[in-house]
Amino acid sequence: MKNKFFTISLVAALMLSITACEKRLDIVPLQSLPPEQGLKTESDLGGMLIGSYNGLQSTSSYGGDIQLMADLWANRAYLRFRGTFANLLEIAGITTVSNVILKDNASAASLWSNAYRTINTCNLVLANLNLVTSSAAKKDRIEAEALFIRGSLYFELARLYGKAWGDGDNSTNLAVPLILTPTPSEVSGLKDENYPARATVAAVYGRAIADLQRAATLLPSTNLHYATKAAAWGQLSRIALMQGDYATARDMANNAITDFEGRGIGLQANFRDLFYNYINFGGVAPREYVFYMRVTTQDGTNGLNTYYGQTIGSIPGTAGRGDLDVQTAWVNRHSATDVRRSFFLVTNRRLTQKHVDRFGHVPVIRLAEMYLTRAEANFRLGTTVGATPAADVKRIRDRVALPEIPAASLTLSNILLERDLELAFEGHYLHDRKRLREPMPGSSFTNGPAWNSPRLVMPIPQREMDVNKNLVQNEGY
C-alpha cells in the first residue's frame, strides 16, 4: 500500500517537473539584441550611427591604417619599417625590383572588411531614417553623418584598391564593390547581390562625391567631434585633388576655411600643440582639427601611435612599438630653422612626435591642409579665391619659424614641399605622389616605384577572392 502510494506520487512529481521546465528553454540574450528589439526607436538609430563612427575609428580605418598605408608604402628612403609585422614589412618593403605584397596581406584584408562592416552599419542607419520623428533637422543630421562616413570610406577604398584616377580608363578600371543597402539579418535573405562584383573607379568616386555632397548640404557647421560641413568639404577637396579638378578642390577647401574663419578659428598658434593631445591637454582636441578620430582612455586606439610611437621614459604617457624610423633624408628636406625639422625624438629610432601620445587623437583633416590645398589650386589656376597662394603658404610657414616666400618667387614646388613637410605622417604621401604622377622616393642608390606601378595598389584580399567568384584580382597578384 505504502509503496503504491509512493509510486504514484513520485511519478506524478516527475511529470510535473517536466512540464514546469518546458517553458524555460526560451531565453533571450542580454548583451546583444535581436534586430527587432535593437532598432525600434530614434535613440536606437542614434546608437547605430555611433556604431558607424566606432567602425570608422577602428585601427583598420581612420584609427590608423588608412593613414599609415600612405606614408609607409614603398617609402623606404624616408621612413624605414623596423618592426616584425610581415604585413607592414611587405608594404614598406616595396621597391622597383624586389618584394611583393602577398595576396593574404593582413592589412589589406582588415582594412577591407572593417570598411564594409562600417558601410553596412551606415546603410542600416540610412534605411531606417523613418525612426527619427523628433525633428527634420535631426533626421537630416543623422542621414548626413552616415553619408559622410560611407562616402569617406568609398573614397579611401577606391584609391587603395583601385588604380589611381586617370591611370587608364576610369570607367573600366575596377575599384571596389558598391554596397548601398543593408545586408539582410537572416541567412535565408542572402542573395546574389550579396556576392557583388567590383564597381569601376569612376562609379566609386562618383558615389563618394554624391554621398559627401549631400552630407555637406545637410550637416551642421559645428557638431561636437562628429562630422561637420567643413569635414565633408575637406573630403570633397581631397577627392577633387585626386581627380586633378583644381577648381573644385580650391572651392571646397575655401568653403571649409571660410566656415572655420567665420567662427574665429585659424591655425593653432604653436605647431607642437597640435599633438600631445592627452599628455599636455588632457584630451582637448586642437581647434584646427577639421575632423579627427577621438581617443579616450576608455575608448578607441590610436593606431598610428602603435607603430610610430615608442615608450620614452622621460615623457610619461608615451607608448608604441617604435617600428617606424624616420630617415635622415627626410629630416634633410627641412630648412635649418624649421620647427618641424626638430619635431622628432631620437631613441634607437628617429620618431615623429606627432604620434607618440598613447591617448592622442588621430587627426584626419587639419585646417592647414585646407590652406595648402587652396594655395596649390589657386596657384595652378592663377586665381586668388579666399586668399593669395603666398598668403596661405605664409600662414603655414610663419608658425614653424620659416621666412615668408614673396608671391613673386613662390613656385608650385615650394607649395608642394610645404605640403609634404606639414602633413608628413598624416596619410598623404603616397596619394600625393600618385596624383602628381611622381615616383616614390628613391635613395641615392635606387629608384622608387612609379606612381602607376601595380605594386602600389592593394591586392583584393585572398579571403574575398576565395568566397566571392564575382571579384577580379588586381594586376600583379
Partner 1 sequence: MRKSILMGLCALLFAFSGIAQNTTVTGKVVDEKGVPVAGASVLERGTKNGTNTKNDGSFSLQVKSGATLVISGVGFESRQLAASSGNLMIQLTPDVKSLNEVVVTGFGSQIKKEVTGNIARVKGKDIEFMPTPSVDAALQGKAAGVYVNSQSGKLGQAVSVRVRGSSSISAGSEPLYVVDGVPITTGSQSSYGGATNPLVDLNPNDIESIEVLKDASAGAIFGSRAANGVVLITTKKGKGGKTNVSLNVQTGNAQSSRRVPFLNSEQYAELLLEGAKYIDDFYGTPYTDPFSETVYVKDWMDYFSYGQWTTDPKKTYEWQDVAFQKGQYRQVDLQLSGGNDKTKFFISGQYLDQGGIIIGNNLERMTARMNIDHKANDWLTIGLTTNFARSLNKRLPDDNAFSNPLQSVALMPMTPNIIPAGQPGAGLPAGTPPGDPNIPMYYNPQISIDYGRFSAESFRNFSTGYANIKLLPGLTFQSEFGMDIMSQQEEGYFQSQTVRNQTRAVRGVGSNRAVFITNYNTNNYLNYTKSIGKSDINATLGMQYQQSRNSSNFVEGLDFPSDSYQRIASAATISGGSSSQTDFRFLSYFLRTNYKYADKYLVSLSGRIDGSSRFGANNRYGFFPAISAGWILSNEKFLSNFTPLSFLKFRASYGIVGNAEIGNFPQLALFTGGAGYAGIGGQEPSQIGNPDLKWETTRQFDIGFDFGFLNNRITGEIDYYNKQTEDLLLRTNIPSTTGFNSVVRNLGSLQNSGIEFVLNTQNLVGDLKWTTSLNVAFNRNRVTNISGQIIEGGIARLPNRAMEGQPLGVFWGVEYAGVNPANGDAQFFRNLKNADGSIDRSILSNSQFNQAQRVALGDPNPDVIAGVTNNFSYKGFDLSFQFNGVFGNQVSVYGMGQYSMANMIYEDNQTADQMNRWRKPGDITNVPQARYYFGNGNQPSSRFIVDGSFVRLRTINFGYNLPSKIVKKAKLERVRLYVSALNLLTFTNNYPLWDPEVNADSFDSNIAKGNDFYTPPQPKTILFGINVGF
What residues numbered 298-327 form the site for partner 1, per CB under 8 A?
298-300, 310-311, 313, 316-317, 319-320, 322, 327
Least distance from C-beta 217 to partner 1, angstroms? Answer: 24
Q: Out of 166, 196, 220, 439, name the contact with partner 1 by CB under 8 A.
A: 196
Smallest distance, partner 1 to C-beta of residue 390, A? 36
- Minimum distance from residue 323 beta carbon to partner 1 (Å): 11
Look up residue 318 and give its DSSP letter: B
Closest CA to 460 of 158, 94, 98, 243: 158
Q: Identify which of residues 320 and 389 has a Cβ nearer to partner 1 in the complex.
A: 320
H or E, element range at 110 = helix 106-127
> Closest approach of Cβ 449 to partner 1, in Å?
15
165 φψ region: left (φ > 0), alpha (ψ -120 to 50), beta (else): beta
Helix axes 429-436, 229-243, angle to 10 degrees: 40
Cβ distance to partner 1 smaller for residue 258 or 468: 468
CA-to-CA dists, residue 44 to 47, 53, 104, 117, 135, angstroms: 5, 15, 37, 18, 16
Q: Is 106 in the site for partner 1 (CB under 8 A)?
A: yes
SS3 360: coil
Q: How far is the CB of 330 from partner 1 (least distance, A)?
A: 12
Q: Which stretch binds partner 1 (CB under 8 A): 189-197, 232-240, 406-414, 448-456?
A: 189-197
Q: Are 359 and 296 in contact (CB under 8 A)?
A: yes
127 part of the interface to partner 1, by CB under 8 A? no
Interface with partner 1 (CB under 8 A), residue from 136, 186, 269, 346: 186
Site residues for partner 1, 62-101, by CB under 8 A, read 84, 86, 89-90, 93, 98-100
Residues in Cβ contact with 257 at an 8 Å cutoff, skipping those fewer than 6 apart: 367, 370, 371, 374, 386
Pick 169 or 195: Cβ nearer partner 1: 195
| Phi, psi for 352 (deg, rounded to 5) | -75, 140
Q: Is residue 347 involved in binding partner 1 (CB under 8 A)? A: yes
Question: What is the β-pairing status of strands 79-81 and 324-326?
Answer: antiparallel
Window contacting partner 1 (CB under 8 A); options: 229-237, 264-272, 416-424, 438-446: 438-446
Amino acid identity at 255:
N
The 3-class SS string of 7-22 reads: HHHHHHHHHHHHHHHH
Contacts of 270 by beta carbon, 8 Å cutoff, 6+ apart? 399
Q: Which of 130, 134, 172, 297: binder of partner 1 (CB under 8 A)?
A: 297
| Contacts to partner 1 from residues 226-285, by CB under 8 A | none
Cβ proximity to partner 1, 36 vs 406, nearer residue: 36
Q: Whole-number minimum distance, CB 298 to partner 1, in Å? A: 5
In angstroms, give the least distance from the CB of 171 to partner 1.
Answer: 21
163 φψ region: left (φ > 0), alpha (ψ -120 to 50), beta (else): beta
Task: Measure the CA–CA gap between 240 and 214, rounded to whole angstroms.
Answer: 16
Asked whether the beta carbons of 46 and 62 are under 8 A apart, the reply is: no
Task: Please list, residue by residue across 60-70, b when 16 or more beta carbons sit within 10 angstroms of its beta carbon and e when fewer do.
Answer: bbbbbbbbbbb
Task: Pull the grid cell for residue 328.
Answer: 635622415
Q: Which is nearer to partner 1, 171 or 296 (CB)?
A: 296
Number of residues that bind partner 1 (CB under 8 A): 99
Instruction: Choose between 6 and 472: whose C-beta lies nearer to partner 1.
Output: 6
CB of 231 to partner 1, least distance (A): 15
Quick one: CA torsion of 337, 339, 341, 346, rounded to 10 degrees?
120
**Residue 299: strand, helix, or coil:** coil
User: Cβ 9 to partner 1, closest distance in Å?
Assistant: 10
Spell out, one character per residue from 448 to 467, where the chain touches partner 1: x when CB under 8 A holds, - when not.
-------------x-xx-xx
The size of the chain, in residues, is 477
Minimal distance in Å, beta carbon 178 to partner 1? 9
What x-and-dash track marks residues 11-50 binding partner 1 by CB under 8 A?
Answer: x-xx--xx--xx-xxxx-xxxxxxx--xx----x--xxxx
Is the Cβ of residue 185 or residue 270 nearer to partner 1 in the bound state? 185
Q: Residue 447 interacts with partner 1 (CB under 8 A)? A: no
Closest distance of CB 219 from partner 1, Å: 17
The binding track of 107-126 with respect to partner 1, each residue x by CB under 8 A or -, is -----xx--xxxxxx--x--
Q: Which is nearer to partner 1, 117 or 272 (CB)?
A: 117
Sites for partner 1 among residues 46-65 (CB under 8 A)? 47-55, 57
Question: What is the distance in angstroms between the CA of the first residue and the CA of the last residue of the chain?
Answer: 85
Q: What's at 154, amino acid-wise?
A: Y
